[in-house]
Amino acid sequence: MDNPIISTFVRLPQRPWFWAFLASGLTFFATFALTQGSGNGALLSAALTFASFSAIVGIGQMFVITMGPGNVDLSIPATMTLAGTLSLKYMGGETSMILPGLLIALLVGFGAGAFNYALIRLLRIPPIIATLSASFLYQSLAIWSNRGLRIKPPQALADFTTGSVLGIPNMTVVGILVAVVGWILLERTIFGRWLSAVGQNRRAARLSGVPVEAVNAVTFIGCAVLASLTGYLLASFSGGAALNMGAEYLLISIAVVVIGGSSIAGGNSNVPGIWGGALLMFLVVSMLNSYGFGAGVRLIMTGTIIIAIVAAASGRKASA
Separation CA 181–CA 62 (nearest Å) = 14
CB atoms within 10 A of CB 132: 17
The CA-based dihedral angle spanning residues 221, 222, 226, 231, taken in that order and rounded to the nearest 10 degrees: 0
Q: What single letter denotes the amino acid at residue 271? A: V
Instruction: Parse the chain into domains and list their residue ranges.
Output: 15-319
Average pLDDT, the chain: 86
Output 270 or 103, whichever has higher pLDDT: 103
Write the pLDDT tens digit of every residue in 129-177: 999 999 999 999 998 887 766 788 999 999 999 999 988 999 999 999 9
pLDDT reported for residue 238: 92
The CATH class given to the 15-319 domain equals mainly alpha
What local confidence, expressed as pLDDT, does residue 309 receive?
Answer: 65
> What does the pLDDT read at residue 19?
76
Return the top range by mean pLDDT from 140-154, 236-250, 281-295.
236-250
Residue 201 has pLDDT above 50, yes or no: yes
- What residues does 164 pair with on adjacent strands? 169
Instruction: Read off the pLDDT of residues 245-255 as tens digits, 9 standing for 90 and up.
Output: 888 898 889 88
On whether the CB atoms of residues 247 and 45 are closer than 8 A, the answer is no
Beta bridge partners of 168: 165
Q: Can you tell me the distance from the alpha carbon of 265 to that of 196, in angstroms, rounded to the nearest whole number?
A: 11
pLDDT band at residue 1 under the 50/70/90 scheme: very low
Does residue 164 sit in helix, strand or coil?
strand
- Per-residue pLDDT at 190: 95
Residue 6: predicted pLDDT: 61
Report pTM. 0.89
How many residues are listed for the chain in this entry? 320
